[in-house]
Structure 1
Amino acid sequence: MEIVDTIARTAAAAAVLFLDADGQVLIVEPTYKPRWEIPGGDVEKGETPRDACVRLLHEELRLDLLPGRLLVVDWAPLVREERVRFVFDGGTLTEAQLDRIELAPDVLTSWAFLSPDELFVMMEPRLVRRVSAAIDARRAGVPTYLEHGLPAG
């Protein structure tokens, strides 16, 4: 008798929502895809999503920051695999922190701040929904759960 493995082995990704003093969102331009995103990336084996954010912020932006509380969990299926995406609160970046940003040239081309209403110009729709939900969760002080970038339930 063959036993079928039905346990999910879902990949994870984690990102950080940073705002500036005017409430605009920090976005980055990856070298390996056409659309912009918020800082973050894949969680490695044995790494927590929050630890992945610490590593990625250092590797990609040369920022040594500890993300704050969880804002969003989004179950996001892809063509090849399912992925659970976490978004943490990075707070408001100071001018001194912004001056320390050094992009990893093999990963990121540039960075910018956009108002939440302008994100759709640079980012894919599902990510805009996720970031908008993270902004709302930050404001409300309560994390939110999404599926496909949309509120579940």
Structure 2
Amino acid sequence: MNNSQFNEVVAQPRSAAGVLFFDGDDRVLLVKPTYKPGWEIPGGYLHAGETPSAGAAREVKEELGITPPIGRLLVADWAPHPTEGDKLLFVFDGGVLPSDRLDQIAVDQVEISEHAFHFRDQLDALLIPRLARRVHAACTARVRAETVYLEHGAPLT
């Protein structure tokens, strides 16, 4: 290695993880943040030293008050934001929530004001475009039992 390699600037992305949950009608669970307009999937930024799956589970407990098992990784998305910098975003499969688990959901009313299930054809109207692309890709990956890598919410061509 030469000295110029020691001075190289490396990516230090902000990392976040979310979970896709479904109901018996194959609708996707979305949450409404209190601190910004629109809808999101349950999840949030990782704490230092926290794994993506642990962060996803923590965020679900904080936002929804439930502790369902977090399934396999559906999507890893390299999605830099123009004002927030590099981001690496993960989406996990939460599966179908049974009715007894649905009855236990209690949004925190601090970060999240409400939750609702929505059909996939409603997602584009409810989510910002880059999140909508990521959620659609995650839904497809779930059906195909695969994990996909995205950049800006889109697969590489």
TM-score range, shorter chain: over 0.9
Map of 2:37 onto structure 1:
34
Q: Give the alignment's Cα RMSD to 1 decimal.
A: 1.3
Map of 2:156 onto structure 1:
152
Map of 1:68 onto structure 2:
71
CA distance in 1, matches of 2:75, 2:29: 17
1:94 CA displacement: 1.1
CA contact (8 A) 2:28 2:119 kept: yes
CA distance in 2, matches of 1:72, 1:8: 20
The superposition leaves residues 68-98 of structure 1 with CA deviations (integer Å, 9 ceiling, x where unpaired) of: 0000000011122110000000000111111
State the percentage of identical aligned residues.
Answer: 45
Match of 1:49, as an amino acid? P
1:43 CA displacement: 0.7
Q: Return 5+ residue gaps in structure 2 as ranges.
A: none
Map of 2:141 onto structure 1:
137
Aligned residues: 153
CA distance in 1, matches of 2:78, 2:141: 16
Q: TM-score, normalised by structure 2?
A: 0.93
Match of 1:151, as an amino acid? P
Q: TM-score, normalised by structure 1?
A: 0.96
CA distance in 2, matches of 1:98, 1:132: 23
Map of 2:46 onto structure 1:
43
1:120 CA displacement: 1.3
Map of 2:87 onto structure 1:
83
Matched, 1:53 2:48: no
DSSP 3-state at the match of 1:26: strand
Q: Return 5+ residue gaps in structure 1 as ranges.
A: none
Map of 1:124 onto structure 2:
128
DSSP 3-state at the match of 1:56: helix
Match of 1:136, as an amino acid? T
Match of 1:57, as an amino acid? V
Which 4+ runs in 1 deviate beyond 6 A?
A: none
Map of 1:7 onto structure 2:
10
